[in-house]
Structure 1
Amino acid sequence: MRGTLSTHANDRLRAYVQAHGDRSWTPAELTELARLRDAYLTARRAERANAA
C-alpha cells in the first residue's frame, strides 16, 4: 500500500483547491491550504524515508 498516505493527502488538497474555484483566497482559507499542503509534504517525506 505504498503511496497511500500521500495519495489521500493529495486528494484532500486537490479537492479543497477545486472547491474553492476562482475567487480570492481569505486568510483563513490560505491557512487551511498551507495545512493541507504541509500534510501532503509530510506524508511524501515519510514514504520516501520508509522506501530507503
Structure 2
Amino acid sequence: MNGIIFALIASAFAIWALIAVANSKLSTNKKILWFALIILVPFIGPIAYWFRYKY
C-alpha cells in the first residue's frame, strides 16, 4: 500500500514538473533536456527542476 501511495505522489509531481517546463520561458533546447530528465529519472528529475528554477 505504501508503494502505491509513493508512486501516485511521484507521478503527480512528475506531471506537475512537465506542465511547469512546458509553460516556462526556457529555450526549446532546455525544455527538451528537462522533459528528458523528468521522464527518464522520474523522482529525481522533478526535484532537480524544482530546486533549479524555484530557488
TM-score where L is the length of structure 1: 0.46
Larger Rg: 1
Higher relative contact order (CA 8 A, sep 6+): 1
When normalised by structure 2's length, the TM-score is 0.44
